[in-house]
Structure formats: C-alpha cells, structure tokens
Structure 1
Amino acid sequence: MESISKSKYRELCKQESSSLHVFNQAWWLDIVCYEGYWDVVIVERDGVIMAAWPYYFKIRHGVKVITKPKLTQFTDIWIRPLPDQSHDERVFFQKELFREMISKLPGFQKFYQSLDYKLQESLFYKDCGFKLSTAYTYVIEPIKNIDMVRENFDYNKRQHLNRARKEQLEIKYDLSANDFYEFYCKSLLKRNKTISYSKALFIDLYNAAYAKNSGRVIYVVGPQGDIHCAEFLVWDSDRAYYLINAINPDFKNCGGATLAVLECIKIASQYCNTFDFEGSMIEEVADSFRRFGAIAKPYINLSKTNSKLLKTFNFIKEEFFY
C-alpha cells in the first residue's frame, strides 16, 4: 500500500506541476524507480506541504541504498515559495525544512544524491553530517533568441553546421522508441560500450514523456537515409535536458550532431528559457558543451555512509588505489 506521504505528493504534483522539475514528477519516478521503490519525505505546516524530497530506495548487494534512478540527473528538493521573505529569513527557513526532512528519511547504509544547481547556496548540508562534492553541468540561457544562441557557438561548431548543409543532412522528428533504442545500442556497440538500462524502461519513459508533452526525439539523416544521430530531449517549465545523445561514430564528422543540438534548442525554446546539457566529467565532452556557448554550473553531490564496513572499504580504496 502506498504511503500517506507519497499519496500527498502525487496531489502536490498535480497542483504544483509547473514548479516541479520533470525528474521530480510522480509519473517520471514511477517509471525510473523500477529496480527498487520511491517514496518522499514531506514537511507540512497547518496541513500545507512546505517542502518535499522524493528519494529512490533499493537494496544493492545486501546494502540499503538511497541513490539516483537511471536517466535522472537529480532528485530535487521542492520548497514552497513564500512571499515577503528576506534572503536571511528564506535561508533560515529552508535550513529548518531540510533538517526536518533529513530526520524523516528511512534508515540507510549508503546515501548518494545529486541536487539541482539552484539549491547549492540555500541549504547547509554539513550540519547534518553529509559529505559534499562538486560536479558541473553545462547550461545555455537564455535560449529564446535562436540567432543569438547560434552566434555564441564557437567557430568549429558553426563550421559543423556549414558541413551539415553541404552534406545535405535532414532533420527529422519522432523516431519510434524501439528504433531509437536499437540505434543507440548499435552506436554504443561500435565504441565497445553497452547501454545501461532496458528497452522496456526507455519505451515507458518515451511514451510517458510524449503523453505529457514533456519530451521529443530529434534525429538527423543523410542523403542515403542513414541515421547520423538521434537525441531524446525532455523538458519542464524551467529548462530542457539533453537527456540521451546517440551518435553513429561512422558519421561523427559530418556535422549532424551540432545540427541536432541546434534543433533541440529551438524546440526547447518553445517551453522554457534554459537548455541543460546535463554535464560530464569527461573533459572532451565538457569541452564540446562549452563550444556551444554553454556555461558551467556547479551542483552538489550529497553523500553519507552509515555502514562501518562500507566506510572501511571506502577508506582502503581511497588510500591504496587513488
């Protein structure tokens, strides 16, 4: 049976849909949390939800873990905005809410979450015994003026667009979920990589995103009908996310990937004013994002280990293998 908090959160998602990121929507969590289960901690004042934090809980090798679901950049902390609060009052209030949410989390042996970059200055996690590390996502904003966005591409990216025109590449839309997944699998195989999630998961997510008008596939084909690349874009009212980028390495120098990014931004601009590449710790990938004119935004990875055995293992790994 579903918890009371989770039922209340589903109602919150209906009432406050526009203020919740796509990754925090109940329909998204229902799909991506298939290997375990998701629930939510909420804080109420006089029967009104003031804060909510969904979490994904699973048992991994006998260890109880709260972590990120697949294909989910972060699980955000939603806090109800209050009018007429000063900056100091808002920070104090958010800190109070966060501490209360922490006290309501279920018992775990390991915790790892990434949080939206907009929260990094609002909460004080160290007070609750968590370890903080910083990662980066890459963001283009604003995106309403597409000509300006294109002008901010560096010389190489603009040359890629010229090459795509010379190659007579064509933008297409709405590749089926099955065809997209198969194309991505084949593209990864050519680079000796494998996909990390099932076809069933992707198809469910694809269908739900389309049904909610929160996602679309854009792909680029050559004159012979070969697919050069395919992108799965999702969005909410705040920003669009470059969720899955599938490129056939046989055509990586034809300009299709850059053409597809520009089209993704055009589509995103109809719904929001920020385009999020979702970041990468791979320097080559990060450099490519920067060449589109994207700016690095630091976000917090929040972790905690309660298991003494895991703490010992992590200590040994850090001391002797890094």
Structure 2
Amino acid sequence: MLNKELYRQLCEREPSIPLFSQAWWLDSVTGKEGWDVVLVEDGDEIVASMPFTIKKIYGLSIISQPILTQSLGPWLRKSDARYSRKLGLQKKRIQELFAKLPTFDHFQQNWHSDITNWLPVYWLDFQQTTRYTYAITDLSNLDAVLSNFDSSYRNKIKKALKIVAVKEDLAIEDFYKINALTFSRQNVSIPYTLEFIKNHDLILSQKKKRKIFYAEDSQGKIHSALYLTWDANSSYVHMVGEDPDLRNSGAGILLIWEAIKYTAQSLGLNRFDFEGSMLETVEPVRRDCGGIQVPYFTITKTPSRILKTALFLKAWKAGR
C-alpha cells in the first residue's frame, strides 16, 4: 500500500497528529498530488511520520513549508519508555524519516512545538532557528483568561460591544475581501487567490474544522473578521481581516475574545493558539491578549552550493 494511503488511515485514527499535518489539510493547501510523506514502521504499526512538499524551481528540488500551514515536521508515536530510552527512539526514528526523504537542494520546515528535540538532525548537518507562536494554554477559567488581557484591551472589548455585533459564518468571498485589506494596509499583495481560499474553506467546512467570526455595525459595515480552525488539542487563529478605516472600534480584540470563549465553551478545548506572530508590529497584540511564548523550530539545510551562495548574498544584502 502506498505511503500516502497508509498515512491517510493513520490520520483518521490518531488524534495526536496536529491539524497542519493532517492529510486532508495538505490536500487543501497543496492539492492531493502536491505532497508526500515518509513513514517509519515497527512491525505493523506506524511509529513516525513526516509529510512534506517538494517542488522543482529552476531545476532545483525544494522542500518547503506550504502556504497557510504553521507547522509540519515529524510526528512520533508517544512512548512510555524511560527518558534515556525515549531520546534514543527519537533519534532513531527521526533519522530514519530523514533518510527516506528524496534528494533535495534545499530543505525548510517549521516543526510543531511538541517536537523539542532537534539533535537528531543537527547530527545530520541541519540548522535550526527558534521561532515563536503565542498561545493561551489554560482556558478552564475564562474570567482568569480575561483578567490576563491588558486593561486597555479589556476596555476595547467594552467599547466594541457598543459599536458592533458579533456574527458568525461570513461568506468566504466577503471574508477574502476584508482579509485582503489587512495585507493592503501593509503594502503587501495577498499571497493567495480567492479560488484557493474557496477550495481551502470548502474542505475545512466539510471537516467541520472552521468558524468565521465577524463584527458588523448597525450600518452593515464589517469592521473585522477572524477565521478560526482547530484540531483535537487546540484552536488556531488561522486568518484575520480588518478594515483599516474602522480599526479604532476595538472589534479585532473583541473577536479574539469571542474566539477564545468559543474554543472553551463550544469546542471543549483548553488551548488557544494565535498562530504567531514573529512580526514586531503584531507580537504586542498576542501578549497583551494574555498569550505566552511557545517556541518552535525552523529546520533548514541547503546541500546546493549555488543556492547556498544565493541565499547568503540575499541575507547579506538585506542586512546592509
């Protein structure tokens, strides 16, 4: 049986596989033929897996992170072995996964924050950069969660409640419009098409893994929108949109609060992930909403000397 079919079956029965590594998620962001997976088996049981995407760019084979996908990297079956034995298994299984990858000229993946041991690939001459998402990791007491918001943000929520009404399930075409405004405010082109987002949203809707919240005033103007996704362990702020002319209403902070409440009360989950951000202008919003830093690894390797030189020159010019 092909690896991908075995992996699809694994995803159906294994709730510990994160949202962004699910086979159906990869179908939605790359197409069914746009990704592959390597597996490690022990007898008849899959004990490790790692999905990946590989593209040919100017004749070079590039393994990289798919769009709108926070993390990939290895999934390892949990072990009850003693600590030293557990580390030994991690080394063995991660290195087996990487040995099964096709030949590549450049590799870059963001690993899920659950994977905290990158030594097995350090020994294979890979490099690591620590990045951060922000998360609220205990939603058992929503009053305590709200009290961890900065006081100015709690006031914004009160202000927004007098200006807008929170509604659900905005049409994806309308979400895309306000999502695009967020990019245009930063003078950046939106990195995906409406057709792509419609297909992505259709799959998420079919899997019942998304909810779109939006804030609308009495004149029918949409101030802000938030696209929430989730798996068995956490919810994620997948995408947001905000009308730059209406930002002062506080609607964006209100929607974060509504999404947190939905996560705890409707989904029964205890973790809310802001999905970043490393952007200096966005990071204060995450921590002022009570988010704590959660480190994760970006793993890279560039065997191609030509590409390595090009990447070095690009970084050097950016730093001048």
Residue 136 of structure 2 corresponds to residue 140 of structure 1: yes
Out of 199, 218, 229, the residue aligned to residue 234 of structure 1 is: 229
Tell me by how many angstroms 1:267 deviates: 1.4
1:27-66 mapped onto 2 (5 Å cutoff): 27-34=24-31, 37-66=34-63
Q: Give the equivalent residue in structure 1 for 2:109.
A: 113
- Structure 1 residues 250 and 4 mapped into 2: Cα distance closer, same or farther (>3 Å)? same
Tell me how far 1:70 sits from its aligned partner: 0.6
- Pairing of 1:176-255 with structure 2 (within 5 A): 176-255=171-250
- Partner residue of 1:264 out of 254, 259, 267: 259
- Give the structure-1-normalised TM-score: 0.94
How many Å separate the matches in 1 of 2:290 and 2:199?
Answer: 33
**Residue type of the alignment partner of 2:236:** Y
2:108 partner amino acid: Y
Q: Separation in 1 of the partners of 2:184 and 2:314?
A: 30
- Confirm or deny that 1:303 pairs with 2:300: yes
Whole-angstrom distance in 2 between the partners of 1:86 and 1:29: 34
SS of 1:283's equivalent? coil
Query: Does the CA contact (< 8 Å) of 1:209 and 1:216 recur in 2?
Result: no
The code of the aligned residue for 2:251 comes to G
- Equivalent residue, structure 1, for 2:19: 22
Structure 1 residue 130 and structure 2 residue 131: aligned?
Answer: no
Higher mean alpha-carbon deviation, 154-163 vs 57-66, is at 57-66
Equivalent pairs, count: 317
Tell me what 2:312 maps to. Answer: 315
Q: Distance in 2 between matches of 1:192 and 1:321?
A: 18
> One-letter code of the match for 2:175?
F
Q: 1:156 to 1:34 in 2, by over 3 A?
A: same
How far apart are the structure 2 equivalents of 1:61 and 1:36?
20
Identity among equivalent pairs (%): 34
Deviation at 1:123, TM superposition (A): 4.8
Computed over aligned residues only, the root mean square deviation of the Cα atoms, in angstroms, reads: 1.7
Q: 1:71 to 1:318 in 2, by over 3 A?
A: closer
Does 2:86 align with 1:90? yes
Bigger mean CA offset, 135-144 vs 182-191:
182-191
Q: Does the CA-based 8 Å contact 1:138-1:276 persist in structure 2?
A: yes
Counterpart amino acid of 1:157?
A: Y
Q: Which amino acid letter does the alignment assign opposite residue 11 of structure 1?
A: Q
Deviation at 1:75, TM superposition (A): 0.8
SS in 1 for 2:212: strand
Q: Which amino acid aligns with 2:5?
A: S
SS at match of 2:270: coil
Q: TM-score, normalised by structure 2?
A: 0.94
The equivalent residue for 1:10 is 8
Q: What stretches of structure 2 of length at least 5 have no aligned partner?
A: none
Q: Distance in 2 between matches of 1:200 and 1:271?
A: 32
Secondary structure of 1:253's match?
helix
Q: For residues 194 and 36 of structure 1, do their structure 2 counterparts lie closer, same or farther at Cα, with a shift above 3 Å needed? A: farther
Contact 1:237 1:271 in 2 (8 A): no
